[in-house]
Amino acid sequence: GAGVSQSPSNKVTEKGKDVELRCDPISGHTALYWYRQSLGQGLEFLIYFQGNSAPDKSGLPSDRFSAERTGGSVSTLTIQRTQQEDSAVYLCASSFPGPGRETQYFGPGTRLLVL
């Protein structure tokens, strides 16, 4: 079946504008994750959704960042009043829950450039 898809693939915006990044997880995956990858850096955890549980927002770097997951499927990451330091690749991943099914499947990412 289809993998994790993300849109847009690239986004250029001006400082101070809001952006929305979309993630479509693999069908049936109840867990969804957002990560940020700055140039040449590792993956920085942002937020984790698991089924109907309250999301783990512990990785969100500031209150300008928020995410929601509608209907347990599609997720949107919103960055308000973008700053140049927000420029990065934003990766989404999904997985089944529980032991033995931990593999996270990543999308191709959205490359965000804030001018």
Q: Which residues bind other proteins (CB under 8 A)?
A: 4, 31, 33, 35, 40-43, 45, 48, 50, 56, 91, 93, 95, 97-99, 102-109
In the complex, minimum distance from the CB of residue 109 to other proteins, in angstroms, rounded to a whole number:
6
CB of 96 to other proteins, least distance (A): 9
Q: How far is the CB of 16 from other proteins (least distance, A)?
A: 28
Q: Least distance (Å) from other proteins to the CB of residue 48?
A: 5
HEC secondary structure over the chain: CCCCEEECCEEEECCCCCEEEEEECCCCCCEEEEEEECCCCCEEEEEEEECCCCCECCCCCCCCEEEEECCCCCEEEEECCCCHHHCEEEEEEEECCCCCCCCCEECCCEEEEEC
Q: What are phi and psi of 86, to 5 degrees?
A: -80, -10
Q: Kindly tell me which of 50 and 80 has the beta carbon lying closer to other proteins.
A: 50
Q: Compare residues 14 and 54 and give the one whose CB is closer to other proteins.
A: 54
Residue 22 vs 80, nearer CB to other proteins = 22
